Structure 1
């Protein structure tokens, strides 16, 4: 039962010679069975590869290599308890050999340009998948979490700067008027809340921070409030 399954062209295979030996059949009978199988279906031909060997008289004789599917199909025609025992041992041997091949090829360095390209593509594909998964996780967390403390401070500075700009400067009458200044902050947040659907600035999703800052930078008060600012600034110094 030694060498039930061998490695050939990086595949786990067995031979018609080994099948004949183990199942105690004449090799010509096994060959005939294989030829009958391959003649019936084109897909079956892929499971068997014809080759040759040297017999005891040093003469070349035909033989077949077969993969696990080919062996299984061929062995279906073998009956009896002894045949069943050998079938199970063959299948187990195939499984062990294929596992060994996978482990070896997993760590084997590429030997030609085609293998290098295939390995490189596989590695890059895995990396792209990991990056995409990480990106999805980051986006998910950024959608759930509000602004960090530094980002919230930055947004506060943007709001203060915008209110000063709208008033015409920190020394303007409208900015010095606490009531009017409060109206501006309230009006700004009113439009901001409507735009980003939040109850306070800090609840803004991190993912939307840049959009939020740009919104504040481009915001201007409604006409009525703008008119009130202009009138306040047109008056003499309140102090």
Structure 2
């Protein structure tokens, strides 16, 4: 923008300043204002009055704004859309109109590329931020699940009363202390544990059945032994 002048008003639509239009056309800024607004004497028909008379929305083409010159004084300018540039280009003659069209088309294309690049960067930044948040949430969720699983596993370990009951059942089936310890070791080996605390709740019911099975086998062996001893005595 010439003279480092900046229009203060911003719009969502891509625009360039009427000051930049003047520079592209090689004209003084007041000439561009006159083409946009028209002259007070009516000799120059302005674009804005023409649009208003035809009930067009002027904001689609021009938006009034201000800029500060080198002295700091505020002056009028317009923010010109691409369609506004087309209207200004139509008022130019011959080569000047062609050159102006080429310049403003390139200018708007450049702005579109910048905006596109910014949009892509914003999307990438948003994706990275969402990805970081998702990973953090996933880690937190995994940690909570692990804690819950650990707690659930702990809650499903045999209680003190349950362990006493198993020992009591083994003792009832065992003939002596040696048999009692033997049965317990066999049970531990069967379920892959070294102590009752290692047993999970889904195996609780199996323990009773296995102890009973061991006891029945031990009883059968004892009965066979007694039968063999009786046979020896009668021989």
When the two structures are superposed, what TM-score results if normalisation uses the length of structure 1?
Answer: 0.39
Q: Does 1 or 2 have the higher relative contact order (CA < 8 Å, sep 6+)?
A: 1
When the two structures are superposed, what TM-score results if normalisation uses the length of structure 2?
Answer: 0.40
